[in-house]
Structure 1
Amino acid sequence: MTNKNSPLAVAVFDIDGVIRDVGGSYRRALADTVENFTDGSYRPTPHDIDRLKSEGLWNNDWEASQEFIYRFFESKGHSRNELKLNYDNIVAFFQSRYRGADPDNWSGYICHEPLLVELKYWDNLTDSGISWGFFSGATRASASYVLEQRLGLRSPTLVAMEDAPGKPDPTGLFKTIESLGLKANELASPIFYAGDTVADMHTVNKAKSLFPQQTWIAVGVLPPHTQENVGTREAYIQTLIDAGASTVLSNIQELSPEKIQSLLESKV
């Protein structure tokens, strides 16, 4: 990164729903998993998934799958204790859909995820003196696959599922900043975090509570499935704003150096 000691700003990005469209991959695998473990009795809709994630607790899609299964059986009069769900089995089934049956040669839904950003976007940030990296709840293998193999980035700064507690815990956000050679509690430059969920916005809120002297800006991004009709789009925008977003964008590439500068000026 250029001018690492005093960048114009630091921009950290979520991946799912921001860098890649996971509507037909992670979300499809989630629905498949719930349907399988409820014996075909329930398959969550995109609206169901959004509603669960709006609670701000279910950034991890394996845990979200389990929660859906629990809630389905609770609605039928069963208690969680009597169900004895095997989390490892849930994860294994999910991964068989998302990555494919062979863990070494991926052939699942991940192979067909549309990208939501072009490679030149990152060059533009770097050329403008903006340091950047990624903090994602995806596994490192999945995140690296999209960033390096699909998008073409070379050894990007990445903090993934295995590296930090799940969002909204801000530890991974701080680790990303540190991996860029910076310190969140000593940095004069403002820090942006861009994500598509309530948990992402809450991550910034928690970072602010720990380092209130720092300028933190939460940027909401509309995942593609929320832009299919005006009503869904507007509702999702409001959900992200209510959770703490300073602005909500239709595509992450709208977070240009010029947009970053305008957001900074609005904070003055």
Structure 2
Amino acid sequence: MMGAKISAIVIFDIDGVIRDVSGSYRRAIADTVEAFTEGAYRPSQDDIDRLKSEGCWNNDWHASQELVYRYFEQCGQARGDRPLDYDALVAFFQSRYRGTDPNTMNGYICQEPLLVSNGYFDRLTDAGMSWGFFSGAMRAEAAYILEGALKLKQPVVVAMEDAPSKPDPTGLFDAIARIEERHNCHNNAPVIYVGDTVADLYTVGKAQQERPQRTWVGVGVLPPHVHHNLERQAAYSENLKNAGAAIVLDNVEQLTPEVIGEIVD
């Protein structure tokens, strides 16, 4: 049986696009680095941005570890001289982000402002577009925001446990396949991936290289922590464009069905 034709597939990153993580994930990074440098160094938002702009630190546990290592290298110590207990680092990070209660979330995740409304996804659906999520967040953390706060019903989500870290496009391909299977649609619709980091845009570029028969469009979104400073906005936007963003938006809801129609033509 032939399914309905989809005009476009839109896949969203979650952190910095769907929810503001400047006071949660990023705060947990800073807490973790400060703890594992024995209080000597707490990275700023700019420090984290500089690391993320390298395009290979999508996993915040790895990013935290790397910032710790780089601090000690700046102090003249080789990485081998400062072995880190990675499991302990992850546990500390999670105690800040998810919290200390094993049965419920009670950490920084509870304080994340939403950056999008439930109705936005209805508008995409009404315009004949399908959508889903590919994120480096863990499944439970993605569900907390998508199904809990946004009240989305069984959205297609590829999370940390499901695929290699970005910029590997495996998770993006998986999200698309799940959407096409759910809608019984295989018309090779153009794909838009919406993200706020260089790694997100590199993911689109790698997808294009591996599957050039399809139209791939990267859309950048400026995360909230850069909005208060025009110079930072301009620099952050330029980094996203240099990484492959077709357009850079202030907020994801600016990516309307009309704008999507224009950029996939």
Normalising by the smaller structure, the TM-score range is over 0.9
- Does residue 1:143 correspond to 2:130, yes or no? no
SS state at 2:220 partner: strand
Cα distance between partner residues in 2 of 1:4 and 1:163: 26
Q: Which residue of 2 aligns with 1:250?
A: 250
Q: Which residue of 1 aligns with 2:153?
A: 154
Q: Which residue of 2 aligns with 1:75?
A: 74
Cα distance between partner residues in 2 of 1:135 and 1:187: 21
Q: What's the offset of the Cα at 1:263?
A: 1.1
- CA 1:4 to 1:64, structure 2 compared with 1: closer, same or farther past 3 Å? farther
Q: What's the offset of the Cα at 1:76?
A: 1.0
Q: What's the offset of the Cα at 1:188?
A: 2.8
Q: What's the offset of the Cα at 1:4?
A: 5.7
- Does residue 1:32 correspond to 2:47, yes or no? no
Q: Which residue of 2 aligns with 1:108?
A: 107
Q: Is the 1:195–1:221 Cα contact (8 Å) retained in structure 2?
A: yes
Q: Which residue of 2 aligns with 1:218?
A: 218
Cα distance between partner residues in 1 of 2:103 and 2:61: 20
Q: Is the 2:215–2:264 Cα contact (8 Å) retained in structure 1?
A: no
Q: Which residue of 2 aligns with 1:64?
A: 63
Q: Is the 1:194–1:219 Cα contact (8 Å) retained in structure 2?
A: yes
SS state at 1:181 partner: helix
Q: What's the offset of the Cα at 1:31?
A: 0.1
Cα distance between partner residues in 2 of 1:132 and 1:157: 8
Q: What's the offset of the Cα at 1:80?
A: 1.1
Q: Which residue of 2 aligns with 1:193?
A: 193
Taking structure 2 as the reference length, what is the TM-score of the superposition? 0.96
Cα distance between partner residues in 2 of 1:264 and 1:135: 20
Taking structure 1 as the reference length, what is the TM-score of the superposition? 0.95
Q: Is the 1:6–1:188 Cα contact (8 Å) retained in structure 2?
A: no
SS state at 1:218 partner: strand
Q: Which residue of 1 aligns with 2:17?
A: 18
- What amino acid is the match of 2:39? G
SS state at 2:100 partner: coil
Q: Is the 2:6–2:187 Cα contact (8 Å) retained in structure 1?
A: no
Q: Is the 1:22–1:113 Cα contact (8 Å) retained in structure 2?
A: yes
- What amino acid is the match of 1:120? G
Q: Which moved more, 1:192-201 or 1:73-82?
A: 73-82
SS state at 1:84 partner: coil
Q: What's the offset of the Cα at 1:78?
A: 1.2
Structure 1 spans left out of the alignment, 5+ residues: none
- What amino acid is the match of 2:243? A
SS state at 1:189 partner: coil
Structure 2 spans left out of the alignment, 5+ residues: none
- Percentage identity across aligned positions? 58
Cα distance between partner residues in 1 of 2:136 and 2:241: 21
Q: Which moved more, 1:140-149 or 1:97-106?
A: 97-106
Q: Which residue of 2 aligns with 1:230?
A: 230
Q: What's the offset of the Cα at 1:103?
A: 2.4
SS state at 1:102 partner: coil
SS state at 1:120 partner: helix
Cα distance between partner residues in 1 of 2:189 and 2:104: 42
Output one character per residue of 1:84-108: Cα deviation in whole Å (capped at 9) or x when no partner.
Answer: 1011100000011001111212211
Q: Is the 1:194–1:200 Cα contact (8 Å) retained in structure 2?
A: yes
Q: Is the 2:29–2:64 Cα contact (8 Å) retained in structure 1?
A: yes
Q: Is the 2:10–2:193 Cα contact (8 Å) retained in structure 1?
A: yes
- What amino acid is the match of 2:221? V
- What amino acid is the match of 1:192? I
Q: What's the offset of the Cα at 1:54?
A: 0.2
Q: What's the offset of the Cα at 1:49?
A: 0.3
Moved >6 Å (runs of 4+): none
